[in-house]
Amino acid sequence: MAADPPAPSAFELAQRQGDEAIRTSLLDAASRLLAAEGPQALALRRIAGEAGCSTTVLYRMFGGKNGLIEALYIEGFERFRRRLAAVPRDPDPREHVRELGRAYRAGALADRNYYGLMFGAPIPGFAPGEEARATAMSTYAILEDAVAACAAAGLLIDASPRAIAAAFWAEVHGFVSLELNGHLADPDAVLDTLMAGVSSGFFSTPRE
């Protein structure tokens, strides 16, 4: 058996923490620029200026512009995944689905610069790579599992759980997009209505 590698020294740990903090602040600067000014602002020189470092740091950490954009996708999905995974299971699996919807909104509002990158198409011609796609899929799996739990409990209408998960995603994504772009006068009322509609639909039976 090979010996365990030596534990990292306090200096190495601090260095890693420092690298992580630098990495996050560079990604945050890049996502802010992208959201505020569009893809042409995503020049390494510009990001470096914004973050107060040299472009050498960006090359060292991300290997260049494409690597940086890929890292932006991964960071965005990773934050989103952690947030959905942190939603506690509710004894009622329907309530769990609704809580995931609310956590989705909170995540989008907290990381709005990343949200547009992940689900819009702000960088024409750029498609995220394998690691970003895998993180995205493991995020989506949290919702699919929650809907499957409703199906297992006999709580779904007669439609495929996969289509219901996608339809629920479409609802919450649409709500979040309209809210982020300032199109909703009273977002809280719209979200409440949306969540009420998830259970009952929007239509009652006709008055007799």
Binding site for a second copy (CB under 8 A): 35-40, 94, 116, 119-125, 150, 153-160, 163-164, 166-178, 181, 183-186, 189-190, 192-194, 196-204, 206-207
CA dihedral for 190, 193, 197, 199, sign (positive or negative) = positive
Q: How far is the CB of 148 from a second copy (least distance, A)?
A: 13
From 118, 140, 116, 115, select the one nearest 127 (Cα to Cα): 118
CA distance 136 to 80: 9
Question: Minimum CB separation from a second copy for residue 208, in Å?
Answer: 9
Nearer to a second copy (CB atom), residue 110 or residue 178: 178
Nearer to a second copy, 72 or 194 (CB): 194
DSSP structure class, residue 3: P
By beta-carbon proximity to a second copy, the closer residue of 13 and 189 is 189
Nearest CB to a second copy, comparing residues 49 and 122: 122
CB of 159 to a second copy, least distance (A): 5
